[in-house]
Structure 1
Amino acid sequence: MDFSMTVTLAVLVLASVLFISGKIRSDLVAICALIIMMLFQILTPMEALSGFSNSVVIMMVGLFVVGGGIFQTGLAKMASSKLLQLAGPNETRLLIMIMIVTAGIGAFVSNTGTVAVMLPIVVSLAMSAKTSPGRLLMPLAFASSLGGMLTLIGTPPNLVIHETLLAAGYAGVSFFTFTPIGIVCVIVGVILMLFLRRFLPQKDKEADNPNRGRSLEQLAREYQFTQNLYRVQVKAASSLVDRTMLELGISAKFGINVIEIRRKSSARNQIMKTINQEIAGPETVIQADDVMYIHGPFECVDAFVQQYNLMLLNEQADEREHLTHEEQYATDAVGLAELLLAPNSRHINVMVKDSGFREKYHVNVLGIHRKDQYLIHNLKEEKIRFGDALLIQGTWKEIALLATEPDVVVVGQPIEESRKVTMDNKAPIAAGIMLLMVVLLISELIPAVASVMIAAVLMVVFGCVRNMEEAYKTINWESIVLIGGMIPMSIAIEKTGAAQLLSDGLVNSLGSYGPLVLLAGIYFTTSLLTLFISNTACAVLLAPIALAAALQIGVNPYPFLFAVSVGASMCFASPFSTPPNALVMSAGRYKFSHYLKVGLPLQVIMGIVMIAVLPLFFPF
């Protein structure tokens, strides 16, 4: 063993120990490993940095953005609600359904693409079922790899062994030759996950964090906001048309608050946005067909409607039919927040109408929580006292700006809350983009990385992701750097001869013990190597060795080549071994130890099952 091979293996071992300990960030460990490889001249700078230009890494960036679009448009919420109806909130049924659905998609779409499509849906599903996403996301990632064994195109190693057989003069494999093996993989994987899930994270700590503030729905319920919220449409003949809010003085005359106005966009802008929301300020000009959101007692609202010849809308009105319950009082543009005042705040002992919240910050005060009371009527004449909590409504941008003021405290994080409000009117566009990506991935008309990047760009262009800043925030850079940093390690393993030494030694030493032992040696050699190099590279390296070994002892090469394909694809014990494992790491809040506790037993037991099953399908 030469010096470069020794250094490479030592770095791999040290990196693995640090990954397992979790005391140092995984992306920092990966970068340090690269630096050592360059310092010892095992890798050139170009080779060391090649991982960051690798198509898999670029695909992962694009897939994070696509997933963000699926989340932000509410498409994930809609899909998850359908799945929740089918499986119910029972975690066991959810896990089985997710794994089977994911495996089915993974048979025709790359495992990375499959996880990208399913990840936001499963996270939304977990939240709806009141369970931690970590309970379902690792099974999702593993199921995408299991499903890849169902068809010839499911995973690249399948195609590698097909080409190896053809090159050696044997008949290749058909599209569904892998299906019986894939079905066994899926069944075994689902059963094992039902037992191994006990090692997955039990609770989402963030969900229990008391400093996050209450949800929009909780705030609205506590302040009885929705019980006093009415929607009124302005008729073309109404005397309100073309007049400003300041000119009308509605609050003073009727004791009600016009908090928001929604109007349909012009036809030329229908694709990008269907409804405009606007906080009702003094300069707001009322137009025909506007829908005014009014807060106050019903009798006061009714008097306002009668005097100005308006229409009180019911819940089936066209403007409302696509809105969820939350969007009665919050949208992606407009939201609610609770405000606390510092002891020295200039707003204390000042009437709400003189506080300047609407004039300076463009937010409306909708309610006051004082001790055990909730004040929601005639607030303009109410004096703000120390200890009061104010319910305010405004644009998320204005609420975030207000949070920077030194004498007020906004409970929770307005920007984070705004990201939770979905743009449901964009869901059909996001669904179309996602479908286009899947079709392009299946048809292979263009490279897979191009298909994903097209989908990511379309998500931004059509407003499914709010802007480029939001697109960048959807990307988990720790996972990207981790994968980009570890891909060049496979170059070092192959370049120094470590991979060849390991594979040749094991195969040569086991060949004399019979075909079953040799099959086991090939399978577990492949399974070990695929932890450190890509499954495709692993299959390319070991397929010719497996073929030669089978021919050397005079047996059928098919089970040996299938062992290479399955062994290369069934990689669960490491987060950086496959893109799906890395994709779910941050969303599931997993540590390296979770992959060891769950993935390693699954990988080993799957290997034992495959060694027993492969000779049944392909006799020696």
Structure 2
Amino acid sequence: MWVTLCLLALASALFISGKVRSDMVAIGVLIVLLVTGILTPPEALSGFSSTVVIMMIGLFVVGGGIFQTGLARMTSNKLLQLAGTNETSLLIMVMLVTVVLGAFVSNTGTVAVLMPIVISLAMKAGTHPGRLLMPVAFASSLGGTLTLIGTPPNLIIQDTLTGSGFEKLSFFSFAPVGLVCIGTGIAALLWLRRFLPQNEEGSKQETDSLSSHELVRRYQMIHNLFRVQVNADSPLVVKKLSELEIPARFEVNVIEIRRKLSLKNQFLKTVDQEVAGPGTVVQEGDILYVYGPYTEVRRFAEACNLTMLDRQVEERPPQDSTEASYVTDAVGVAELMLTPYSRINNLPVSRSRFREKYRVNIVGIKRKEQYLLHNLKDITMRDDDIILIQGKWKDIELLASDQEDVVVIGQPMEESRKVTMDRKAPIAAGVMLLMIILLVTELVPAVAAVMISACLMVLLGCVRNMEEAYKTVNWGSVVLIGGMIPMSIAIEKTGAAGLLSEGLVGSLGSYGPMALLAGTYFATSAMTLFLSNTTCAVLLAPIALSTAVRMELSPYPFLFAVAIGAGMCFAVPFSTPPNAMVMAAGRYKFMHYLKVGLPLQLIIGIVMVMAIPLFWPF
């Protein structure tokens, strides 16, 4: 027992110092418990097979789908419209949303759903994500005090009461005291947020390459992009672009073609988007994205019997701006330079056969401080030019791997991952809603609901592929939780938990009901720093019940103290999955939890000890 307690103290000291990574400390604790024989190998490795860890992995994938489809951005836009960019308004609103969702869904699920939304919201509001993420994690636990299903400890004290012949609790029995708890928590966090990370001046590093959307704006491409629709009697129908010689005849480029798909495909995708290449065959009804001066585009449309489309005619759901015509999840832009020994150096664009060889379009050239955007076919390319290309991300990536003739500036595949798949947002929303319904109704186990949702995110294309799914998981948080779960097993197995609970609760009985209630609450609150809230409730609920009965007091206030005390754990990152989940994204250190979480835990504890008897008298 003493070896376990000493190991726990050492681990806590290392967590506080921050000199060793938290996940490395967790692995070190695991190894010592295994080598000393305190835990058997199955017990030591049980953390990595626990439902909590498996759920965390699945929920990271679900969160990745919410982010990659743009659902997080769309939701954050709506929240910004409601709350504005004021940090206090944002903080209150995201906590209230979290509390409501946390009343019906596990705190882990609540944070996984909201985390990408909150990160997007913080970025749009110009706020450090760390200003919002920790309050969201804490608010998810506060929400669990509203309903019977809010957290496992609530259900545990229900079983303890009914098992001893007492009247069972209703679905909203926790709500009165829970509202006090939530109000106290939100008010305290508004004061304690001063200790959260701040935006640092100069923290934004300048990069050599611009983002795709910045390139579109820099080259003013949206002013030279027009849409025309192919009519039935157009001479372009059923002809390849290479046969039509459009750039030579009209000094414009067809850079993209979009055509509607059959009705059977409309659930997942209604429009086929194709970068225009030499072999692309034009069909009736196609919408051509044409790049060039307006006068030339107009002449092209009149000569070829095409209909000019204005911005009110949409061939797919509207997006944020015309920039989306150049940059989507499939198509992007990038800058490149010619090498001094390139075979296409000093050749005009029309003779470079760039489109035929690389399947991308040259849409602009930057020469010194001048942007060349028109009559590109006649411009001779030089090795000091910066050339803007547009095409499929996979073709840009292939071009980046061929450094004999060209050098692509930046990392196109990294840039492509930032582009959201907006057309998949309704599907991601449906998957998220399905997960919430399964979690609330308990039609399947919670871990099954999460894994089903994670698989659907990948299968339905809300996450691009399995490699991207793996990248959405914060493996440091997974290792931290998986490595620390066996510590709670060791504390319970060696008898340290029973000794602590019996001593703290039993010794205060002679000082009166309030002292006993305070002892029960703070004993639970202290133990939950190192044990799961479920384990704390299982250990302390029967002790609190028997002590109350022995003193001829009502057991309800003491069991409520156990349930709420077990759920209100904020002082350490590894105590609950939500605390660990936001650690990396919020850029928190261990001291942030101590400075914000520990005072919050104490403030709520003091208020709860005074408030519980008002609703559940002794």
TM-score (norm 2): 0.96
Partner residue of 1:245 out of 241, 244, 253: 241
- C-alpha RMSD of matched pairs (Å): 1.9
Distance in 2 between residues matched to 1:536 and 1:617, nearest whole Å? 24
**Alignment-derived partner of residue 478 in structure 1:** 476
Q: Is 2:361 the counterpart of 1:367?
A: no
Cα distance, 1:89 vs structure 2: 1.2
Q: Is 2:152 the counterpart of 1:121?
A: no
Q: Is 2:601 the counterpart of 1:603?
A: yes
Which segment is superposed worse, 362-371 or 290-299? Answer: 362-371
Cα distance, 1:304 vs structure 2: 0.7
**Alignment-derived partner of residue 581 in structure 1:** 579
Distance in 2 between residues matched to 1:6 and 1:121, nearest whole Å? 44
Partner residue of 1:96 out of 87, 92, 98: 92
**Alignment-derived partner of residue 301 in structure 1:** 297
Q: Is 2:271 the counterpart of 1:275?
A: yes
Cα distance, 1:8 vs structure 2: 1.5
**Alignment-derived partner of residue 12 in structure 1:** 8
Secondary structure, aligned partner of 2:45: helix
Cα distance, 1:32 vs structure 2: 1.9
Q: Is 2:95 the counterpart of 1:80?
A: no
Cα distance, 1:216 vs structure 2: 2.5
Secondary structure, aligned partner of 2:507: helix
Partner AA of 2:261 in structure 1: S
| Structure 1 segments unaligned to the other structure (5+ residues) | none
Q: 1:558-581: CA deviations, max 9, x gaps?
A: 221111111100111122111111
8 Å Cα contact 2:271/2:316 also seen in 1: no
Distance in 2 between residues matched to 1:484 and 1:450, nearest whole Å? 19
Q: Is 2:137 the counterpart of 1:149?
A: no
Q: How does 1:32-47 map to 2 (within 5 A)?
A: 32-47=28-43
Distance in 1 between residues matched to 2:311 and 2:495, nearest whole Å? 70
Identity of aligned residues (%): 65
8 Å Cα contact 1:77/1:125 also seen in 2: yes
Partner AA of 1:384 in structure 2: M
Secondary structure, aligned partner of 1:132: coil
8 Å Cα contact 1:146/1:570 also seen in 2: yes
**Alignment-derived partner of residue 520 in structure 1:** 518
Q: Is 2:395 the counterpart of 1:398?
A: yes
Which segment is superposed worse, 105-114 or 548-557? Answer: 548-557
Secondary structure, aligned partner of 1:525: helix
Gap change, CA 1:574 and 1:405, over 3 Å in 2: farther
Which segment is superposed worse, 339-348 or 286-295? Answer: 339-348
| Structure 2 segments unaligned to the other structure (5+ residues) | none
Distance in 1 between residues matched to 2:235 and 2:316, nearest whole Å? 24
Secondary structure, aligned partner of 2:420: coil
**Alignment-derived partner of residue 553 in structure 1:** 551
Q: Is 2:160 the counterpart of 1:168?
A: no
Cα distance, 1:198 vs structure 2: 1.9
Distance in 2 between residues matched to 1:572 and 1:11, nearest whole Å? 21
Distance in 1 between residues matched to 2:201 and 2:445, nearest whole Å? 40
Gap change, CA 1:321 and 1:455, over 3 Å in 2: closer
8 Å Cα contact 1:369/1:389 also seen in 2: yes
Cα distance, 1:272 vs structure 2: 2.7
8 Å Cα contact 2:317/2:423 also seen in 1: no
Distance in 1 between residues matched to 2:351 and 2:313, nearest whole Å? 36
Partner residue of 2:330 out of 333, 340, 353: 333
Q: 1:83-119: CA deviations, max 9, x gaps?
A: 1111111111011011011101111111111112212
Partner AA of 1:295 in structure 2: Y
Distance in 1 between residues matched to 2:17 and 2:244, nearest whole Å? 66
Secondary structure, aligned partner of 1:211: coil
Distance in 1 between residues matched to 2:200 and 2:142, nearest whole Å? 27
Partner AA of 2:482 in structure 1: G
Q: Is 2:465 the counterpart of 1:467?
A: yes
Partner AA of 1:510 in structure 2: L
Cα distance, 1:237 vs structure 2: 1.8
Cα distance, 1:283 vs structure 2: 1.3
Secondary structure, aligned partner of 1:339: strand
**Alignment-derived partner of residue 543 in structure 1:** 541
Gap change, CA 1:305 and 1:207, over 3 Å in 2: farther
Q: 1:262-315: CA deviations, max 9, x gaps?
A: 222233332232222211111111112111111110011111111110111111
Distance in 1 between residues matched to 2:345 and 2:601, nearest whole Å? 63
Gap change, CA 1:569 and 1:336, over 3 Å in 2: same
Distance in 1 between residues matched to 2:122 and 2:337, nearest whole Å? 32
8 Å Cα contact 1:490/1:534 also seen in 2: yes
Q: Is 2:180 the counterpart of 1:184?
A: yes
8 Å Cα contact 1:100/1:186 also seen in 2: no
The number of equivalent residue pairs is 616
Distance in 2 between residues matched to 1:206 and 1:542, nearest whole Å? 50
Distance in 2 between residues matched to 1:241 and 1:207, nearest whole Å? 53
Q: How does 1:216-295 map to 2 (within 5 A)?
A: 216-295=212-291
Distance in 1 between residues matched to 2:599 and 2:347, nearest whole Å? 65
**Alignment-derived partner of residue 318 in structure 2:** 322
Partner AA of 1:128 in structure 2: K
8 Å Cα contact 1:322/1:425 also seen in 2: no
**Alignment-derived partner of residue 506 in structure 1:** 504
Distance in 1 between residues matched to 2:231 and 2:164, nearest whole Å? 79
Q: 1:185-237: CA deviations, max 9, x gaps?
A: 11111111111212222238997121273233221111010000111111222
Partner AA of 2:104 in structure 1: F
Which segment is superposed worse, 578-587 or 210-219? Answer: 210-219
